[in-house]
Each structure stands twice: as C-alpha cells, then as structure tokens.
Amino acid sequence: MIRKTFEHEIQQVKDEVLLLGSMVEHAIIDSVEVLKKRDIKGAEKIIADDAAINKKRFAIENQLMILIATQQPMAHDLRLLASTMEIISELERMGDYAKGIANINIRMGEEALLKPLIDIPRMAQIGADMLHRSLTAFVKEDVEAAKAIPIEDDEVDGLYNQIYRELMLLIIQDPKSIERANWLLWVAHNLERVADRVTNICERTIFIATGELNEIKSSSDEFWMKK
C-alpha cells in the first residue's frame, strides 16, 4: 500500500464519523427517553453533550480540510472527503434535533405529557437505527444498503402523520392542551427530520462509491407533503 498514511488518516476520519454518529444516535434515543421520564437533569445533560457533538464535528471538518489541502485527493478520495464534509454537517444537525427535544423537555417544566409516549420513541428508535445503518453503509461504501435505507423513511413519515392526526384530535377535544400538543408535535417533527437527513447521508454514500449524485428523495419534501 503506497499511501498508507493517507489511507490510515481516511480510516481515522471514518472512525471519527462513526463516533460522531453514535454520539448523535445516543442523543436522539436519550432525548426521547428522558422526555418519557420527564427527566430534566437528563435533558440538561443532552444539551451539554450537544456541545461535544458540535466540537467533534468541527474537529473532523478541520481534519478533512487539512487532508483535502495536503493529500491532493482525486477521484474517489476527493468524493469521499468532500462528501464526508457534508455528512458531518448532517450529523451535527441531527444532534441539534435531539437538543431541541431536550429543550422542549425543559420547557415543559412541571407539566405532564399530553399522552403516553409510544409512537415517538418508536420514531426515535427507527431514526437512530437508520442513522446507524446509513453510517455503516457509508464506511463500507455499500451502495445497495445506501439505496435501501431511505425507503424506510416512509415508516417514519407514517408514524409522524399518525401522531399529527392524533394530536390534532386531542387539541380539538381540549383546546387548552394546544401548547402541550404542539410540544409533542415539535418533537415528532424533529424526529421526522432526522430520518430525512439520513437520506442525505445515503445519497452521499452512493456518490462516493459511484461518482453519481442523484437525489434519492428530496429531503426538502417537508413532512406535510408526505404520503
């Protein structure tokens, strides 16, 4: 292997991306978990952890910039490094969603949840799982997997629509609950966005492997257009 150091550094970046990914994953799951428990301390911790996510993202970005500037990457290497730059920015934003959920948790203060959380943790679970697998696909440059994962987004969208309708019903039943319903709506919205971003990661993975950049499904199809 001629470019051992370079390969090594690429591997290291990938590892860092995985690490960042798992931080984000945990943030997502945990944010819903502590919301379920209405655990304010836990929420505060998630917000604190998000700072770490941001920091890590900037660190990776920096590393990438140096690699691009010094290793004269071309072809596949170039696609990989440039795309990784995008991917970590997606990850950072997913972290923001988790932080957003934690913020809602805090904002809710003493108020109880409008309804027991069943679909929302499931959304979180699916989103985190998609994220996890999308990163595995990224590291392995597994085009098949990268093409398959975004399809699961439909399930998340379905859940979101279900929650949306449910909450709308609750509000109509009890207009006073509107704030509490809206809180949960935001949470669901955030989780829905997580899945959208996973789609972007998959797009990039396909680009890295093949050099073709096609939008699988527009991430800008906002939730209200789904289904």
Give which of other proteins, ligand PO4, a second copy, none residue 193 binds (C-beta under 5 to 8 Å, depending on kind): ligand PO4
Is 111 a binding residue for a second copy by CB under 8 A? The answer is no
Of how many residues is the chain composed? 227
d(CA 96, CA 197): 12
First and final C-alpha spacing in the chain: 49
Q: How far is the CA of 39 from the CAs of 45, 149, 188, in angstroms?
A: 10, 32, 18
Give which of ligand PO4, other proteins, a second copy, none residue 213 binds (C-beta under 5 to 8 Å, depending on kind): a second copy
Is 77 a binding residue for other proteins by CB under 8 A? The answer is yes
Is 73 a binding residue for a second copy by CB under 8 A? The answer is yes
Of the candidate residues 16, 30, 96, 152, the single one contacting a second copy (CB under 8 A): 96
Cα angle 195, 29, 33; round to 5: 135
Look at the block and give the residue holding tokens 């590892």: 15
Whether 16 and 60 have beta carbons less than 8 Å apart is answered as yes
Is 70 a binding residue for other proteins by CB under 8 A? The answer is yes
User: CA 43, 44, 47, 52 torsion: positive or negative?
Assistant: negative
Contacts of ligand PO4 in 95-124 (CB under 6 A): none
Give contact residues for other proteins (rule: CB under 8 A).
1-6, 62, 65-66, 69-79, 211
Give contact residues for a second copy (rule: CB under 8 A).
50, 54, 58, 61, 64-65, 68-69, 72-74, 78-79, 82, 85-86, 89, 93, 95-96, 99-100, 103-104, 107, 168, 171-172, 175-176, 178-179, 186, 213, 215, 218-220, 222, 224-225
